[in-house]
Amino acid sequence: MTIKDTPEEWEIRATDTPFVGNKTSVRTDDVVMPDGSVVRRDYQVHPGSVGVLALDDQDRVLLIKQYRHPVRQKLWEIPAGLLDVPGENPLHAAQRELYEEAHVKAEDWRVLTDVYTTAGGCDEAVRIFLARNLSEAEGERFEVEDEEADLEHARVPVSELVRGVLAGELHNNCLVVGVLSLVAARAGDGLDALRPAGAAWPARPFEV
């Protein structure tokens, strides 16, 4: 048996969108189960996101600390953001987020991993990139607002992040998945064997 996620779509008898927000919405579907019964499923419709695990030449990861109102905490995170434009190339979005949130650019980009953050209640798909060969971006810094106006920045060794994840001190999904994927990739075929930055992403198809 091959352990691999596979596309499948069960019949929907009715659908409604009771809430539409600025970036996301909530959808209610009446879904036909395998036994013929129909159940109602509510979920958040999300445009998708990208995250950037930016690794410098001292084996440190570039982090930001940002207030997240739903969980009432300031979380250490990797730079990340929404796919604002349907069909947008996720690499371009990742490069934009690294510039806007950290004023950094990278010469080497790979796909680290693809995840669904909360598949039971949200269709958000996230592509996490590994960015290396970092340098300061040219030009003026991006003008931030709202929560991003209070960002803190740090560069933290990979080993310290692994310790913090396993100790339950770091909770951001992209940070946790990204750091542990980095360690796993190193223990496997190595970082240069990761998928290229332009690898296909069925969850959020894009034009090259």
Cβ-based neighbour number of residue 201 at 10 Å: 17
User: Looking at the domain assignment, is residue 39 inside a domain?
Assistant: yes
The closest of 182, 193, 150, 144 to 56, measured between CA atoms, is 182
* Angle (nearest 5°) at CA 115 between 7 and 195: 90
pLDDT score at 207: 83
163-174 pLDDT tens trace: 999 999 999 999
Residues 65 and 141 in one domain: yes
Q: Is residue 207 part of a domain?
A: no
CA angle centred on 185, ends 179 and 188, rounded to 5°: 145
Residue 120 sits in the same domain as residue 31:
no
- Phi, psi dihedral angles at 179 (to 5 degrees): -65, -45
The whole-angstrom separation of Cα 22 and Cα 159 is: 38
Question: Do 55 and 134 share a domain, yes or no?
Answer: yes
Is residue 91 assigned to a domain? yes
Mean pLDDT of 6-34: 96
Q: What is the CATH number of the domain that holds 71?
A: 3.90.79.10
Task: Indicate if 101 and 144 belong to the same structural domain.
Answer: yes
**Is residue 140 annotated as part of the catalytic site, yes or no?**
no
Residues 18 and 76 in one domain: no
Co-location of 149 and 74 in the same domain: yes
State residue 181's pLDDT score: 98
Catalytic residue among 107, 140, 148, 207: 148
Answer yes or no: is 183 within a domain: yes
Question: Percent of the chain having pLDDT more than 70?
Answer: 96
25-42 residue pLDDT tens: 999 999 999 999 999 999
Q: Please indicate, yes or no, if residue 5 is contained in any of the structural domains.
A: no
Confidence of residue 86 (pLDDT cuts 50, 70, 90): confident
Range of the domain at 74: 49-196
Same domain, 71 and 158: yes
- Both 35 and 76 in one domain: the answer is no
**Does position 77 have pLDDT exceeding 90, yes or no?**
yes
Contact (Cβ atoms closer than 8 angstroms) between residue 49 and residue 126: yes
Q: What is the number of structural domains in the chain?
A: 2
* Residue 208 confidence (pLDDT): 77
Residues 159 and 177 placed together within one structural domain of the fold: yes
Are 71 and 28 found together in one domain?
A: no
Does residue 103 sit in the same domain as residue 33?
no
DSSP per-residue letters across 109-162 = EEEEEEEES-TTTB--EEEEEEEEEEEEPSSSPP---GGGGG-EEEEEEHHHHH
Asked if the model's pLDDT at residue 18 lies above 90, the reply is yes
35 and 137 share one domain = no
The DSSP line for 46-90 is ---EEEEEEB-TTSEEEEEEEEEGGGTEEEEE--EEE--STT--H
